[in-house]
Structures are given as structure tokens and as C-alpha cells.
Structure 1
Amino acid sequence: MSVSQATIDRYTQADPDVRLMLRVAADDAYAFEELMRRYQNRVVAVLTHLVGRRDMAEDLAQDVFLRIYRARKRYVPASKFSTWLFTITNNVASNALRSLSRRKEVNVTPASPNASGANPIENTALAASGLMPTRQLDKSEMSQVVRQAIESLNERQRMAVLLAKFEQLSYAEIGEIMDLTPQAIKSLLSRARANLREVLEPYLEQGEVKV
């Protein structure tokens, strides 16, 4: 795809990460280290939500940055750097999930049972439903509830929610990453939020989480 010089100039001037990537293209090792410092934890966090395993997410993040480095000589700033980065992240995650599906592996390890015989997520769900005495969830329990709710979404909904909620990207930017129109992203996020509300309804009623 041909990119106009005006587009290249606009993103180069507006995005400091694009300027860093252009230095990477010129074999500046420090610039690459700085990009990794800025984005590695964010990429790992998104991938962890997508594939359900931290160890796998860390390996996939290495693959993402390896692809970026290998593509440095072909890099053209046709979008924000973060848009390009998360497009690669989305492709890497999709390939990994397809591979896992073919091997029929289970991606999420169940929580260990506690003394009552139910795992923590079951206990919190029971409490919210009124089958156990209600109590305020602590931060780690609430994080687990939200994580499990996100994991209940399908792959495309999950990616859209992560990019919108955690990366604060626009419909247009998410659409570019996922190869969908902004309107399609808006509809996808609407369905995803409806699904999240259904899963998180007991906690929404208690005011413990926002969707």
C-alpha cells in the first residue's frame, strides 16, 4: 500500500514513538530498547487477557517485538506507532489461539479449591447471588472477577474491549488494528459490553465494578 509523504510527515511530527521507530530503522539499538520499555508491559497485559496464560503472553510479546525489529527496514509511518504495534500483537495472538484450538489445549488454569471445596470465583459469585453472606470483594478478587468476565467474551470482542478500555484507542484506531470499519467496532463493543454486564450484573448492582 502506497503511503503519501504528507501522511508520513504528519505521523512523524505528531507521534514521538514513530520518531523512535524511525531511529530503530536506522539501527539505533537504544531507540528499540526505549520502545520496548514503553510498550512491553502493555503488550504482555493485552496478550495475557487474550490467551489466558502469562507465560505464553510473555513468549508472544517477544515474538511481537522480534517481528517489529525484523520489519524495521520496511517501516513506513502510515499510522500511530501504537496502532501498528497492536496490529502485529493482534495477528500474533490470533495465530496463537488458532494453534491452541487445533491442539485442543485448555488456556486457563482453574483456581485451586479452598477449604470449602469451591474456588474463589465460585465463592464470590455465590456471595453476589445471595447464596452466601455478601461481603465487599478485595482488590485481587475483583480483578479476578473482571478477568474471568473478559475471558468469557469471544476473541474479537475481547480484543476490542482491551484496546478501548486499557489502551484508550478510538473506534477508527481499533478498526485499523482489527481490519474492521469504525461502525463495526462500535457494534462489536456494544455487544461486548452487553455480554460483560450480563456476567458482572451481581457486582454492578453492588457498585463494585463499572463496565
Structure 2
Amino acid sequence: MANDALKTKIQSMTKLAAQRVAESPYWFDINHKRRYVRVNGKSYRAVSLDPANPCGSLIRDGKKVSGNKTLKLALLDAADPQCENHVPKNKKPEHRIQAVLIWTALTDPQGLPRAIGIADRFDAIWFVADEVKMDKIRADLIMLGESQGRYVPIFIELKYKRETQVGEQVKNASEMARTIEAEFCQFLSAATKKPAEAIEMTKPLLIAIWGKSDRERPEAQAMRDRYGLLTIHHEELNL
């Protein structure tokens, strides 16, 4: 994705995120169904955070509920009692972790740092977006860490199994964001209502959440050193 195309996409997502925050303080836990409204490139989409359908589609009349140009329609989809959970075929374990991380960030941002073992770094972690596609890169989770009134972007990659390429993936996502630093900073601000001038784009935290290994491999440590990557085992999460 060329720089201009990525800039245009993030600017579009910024407008959608700002409208979502400004017009509806209840865009998650809709009708107590653990659903939220995802911001895509040019649209909103109602998505499930239910453990039975983590980060999955909703089904109505046998068809997947698609995206909407307006927030109002997406909220109606999320609230619709006729919409059911789609039973995912792949059932990736990392989707369950992704859904719980999003849910915790939305409902208890001050508790999330403690839940993932980094309370020494942050006072709170705020949800920004998930499944953000930037060219050939897809960022699993983008959040904003808060410490004493200052903020840093957090890029999180989720893997059920330990894969050493995860460091490159999450690093590439952060570097793509840096190519449009001003626009991406505005996106982070719009999605969280935090002041853009307090966001330090030059100090992102890169996290990989993956399975625990019986023994530490040298390449895993080399990856952490190379990319400045923080790795957290699934078993270490307190969610």
C-alpha cells in the first residue's frame, strides 16, 4: 500500500472512530451481548466478543451481517436480537485471547496492565482497533498505553504457537504507522479521546502473546533483542 493510500485509509478510520466515540458511549456490551462496533477502512461492523464466537461475525437469516456506512445501522445490527453468533470453523485459540483483551480494555482499562503483567509500565491500556490492514500487514491489536498522563502506541500480535517471524510482523506494523506518524497519532487520539500532543509515537511497545515452550530457544531471545519485543505467554495472562 503506497503511503498516500495508507494515509487516506487511516484518515477515514480516524473520522469513523471519532464519530463512534462522540455519538455513542455505548458501542460495546450492546444489550449485554458482548458485542462491539469495529471500525474498518470505510465502514462500521458489528462484531461478537462472546467466548463462543470470539471476534466473529453475526448471523441474521442465515447470512453474515456485513459492514455499514453509518454508525446507527451498525449499532442496530449489534443490538438486534435476531442476530446470532456465527460458529467459527477455524476456532483459532488466539481469537479467544484477542476478544478477551478487547473486552478487558473496553470495560477495565486500568485493570488490563495488571492482567497481562505489565502494571509496572502503564496505569491503563485503552483499546484503539483490531484487525487493521496496512498493505500486506494486518495488525491484530492496536492499543494505547497510559503512564502518568503520557501515552504510547502498543502493537500486539497473537499466536497460539511460538513463531519467530512474529517479531518481524509486529515490527512492520509499527513501522508502517510511523510512515504516516501525524495521521496515525490523530487516529490513536480519535479512538480513545486522549490528547494527540501527549502521544509519543517514537516509543511504541511491541508485544507478542504466544504459547509457552518447554525450553527457551536462542532464536526467540535473538528475536526479542532484534525487535525490542516483549513476549507474554498465554499462561501468564490473568484475564
Fold-level similarity (TM above 0.5): no
Q: Counting strand residues as a fraction of each chain, which structure ranks higher?
A: 2
TM-score (normalised: structure 2): 0.28
Q: Counting helix residues as a fraction of each chain, which structure ranks higher?
A: 1
